[in-house]
């Protein structure tokens, strides 16, 4: 499994993986949201991949720092969600909710959130599932002190490893 030095290398590898699966796409776009770069890849058939490269994962022990957000019960809800849905992994991923809503408006049923780690692992989930999970379990930091845009905190173990192919279009092998 390849390792990634930076986001550029990880994004290039992800594009190779898409090509290997026969998914055609337009050139990726880099967008800045709340001082954080996000890579958006739009496919030829109206699908969207939101790529997120994570250099170091945050563990649940760091969830205590969200108590300063002044949102009653948030830290307890986050710990509960990581314990219940993390599949044994105590790490979590955050996503800008404003960006998630905007991308869902563009392509509701073909919008995906992909997480790439430095060790070469790739995880994904539909942005619609991500949004619904965040709303259902109320794990959104609505009043962040380090920015102005709300973000969701979701356990890494809830994502699907990219190596598991759930469905693929038929192809003729020569």
DSSP secondary structure of 25-82 = BPPPEEEEETTEEEEEEEBTTS-EEEEEEESSPEEGGGGGGGGGG--TTHHHHHHHHH
Model's pTM, two decimal places? 0.75
Q: Is residue 130 part of a domain?
A: yes
pLDDT at position 160 over 60:
yes
CA atoms within 13 A on the CB side of 43: 17
Q: Is residue 67 part of a domain?
A: yes
| Strand, coil or helix: 5 | coil
Instruction: Write down the pLDDT at residue 35.
Output: 67
If one counts every other C-beta atom within 10 angstroms of the C-beta of residue 77, the result is 18
How far apart, in Å, are the Cα atoms of 98 and each of 7, 44, 49, 110? 22, 24, 16, 18
Q: How far apart are CA 74 and CA 12, in angstroms?
A: 36
The average confidence (pLDDT) of the chain is 78
Most confident of 31-35, 70-74, 124-128: 124-128
Instruction: Write down the pLDDT at residue 151.
Output: 82
Q: Is residue 133 part of a domain?
A: yes
Q: Is residue 167 part of a domain?
A: no
| Strand, coil or helix: 144 | coil
Q: Tell me the mean pLDDT in the region 54-65.
A: 55
Q: What is the pLDDT of residues 97-153, one digit of tens each?
A: 888 888 888 876 789 998 888 888 888 999 899 999 988 888 887 777 666 778 888
Q: Return the sign of the alpha-carbon dihedral for residues 54, 60, 61, 64.
A: positive
Q: Which domain holds residue 103?
A: 7-160
Q: Tell me the mean pLDDT in the region 43-58.
A: 78
Report yes or no: 130 and 113 within 8 Å, Cβ to Cβ. yes
Strand partners, 38: 31
Instruction: Write down the pLDDT at residue 142.
Output: 76
Q: How far apart are CA 117 and CA 113, in angstroms?
A: 13
Instruction: Write down the pLDDT at residue 56.
Output: 64
Q: Scanning the structure block, which residue is given the tokens 């219940």?
A: 84
pLDDT at position 19 over 80:
yes
Q: Is residue 165 part of a domain?
A: no
Instruction: Write down the pLDDT at residue 92.
Output: 80
pLDDT at position 9 over 60:
yes
Q: Is residue 172 part of a domain?
A: no
Overall domain count for the chain:
1
């Amino acid at each position: 499994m390849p390792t990634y030095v930076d986001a550029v290398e990880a994004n290039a590898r992800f594009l190779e993986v898409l090509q290997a699966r026969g998914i055609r796409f337009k050139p990726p776009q880099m967008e800045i949201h709340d001082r954080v770069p996000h890579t958006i890849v739009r496919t030829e058939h109206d699908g969207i991949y939101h790529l997120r490269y994570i250099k170091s994962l945050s563990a649940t022990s760091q969830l205590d720092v969200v108590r300063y957000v002044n949102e009653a019960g948030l830290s307890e809800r986050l710990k509960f969600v990581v314990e219940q849905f993390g599949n044994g992994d105590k790490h979590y991923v955050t996503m800008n909710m404003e960006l998630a809503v905007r991308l869902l408006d563009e392509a509701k049923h073909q919008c995906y959130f992909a997480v790439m780690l430095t060790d070469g692992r790739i995880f994904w989930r539909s942005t619609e599932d991500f949004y619904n999970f965040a709303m259902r379990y109320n794990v959104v930091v609505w009043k962040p002190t380090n920015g102005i845009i709300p973000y969701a905190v979701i356990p890494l173990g809830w994502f699907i490893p990219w190596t598991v192919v759930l469905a693929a279009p038929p192809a003729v092998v020569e």
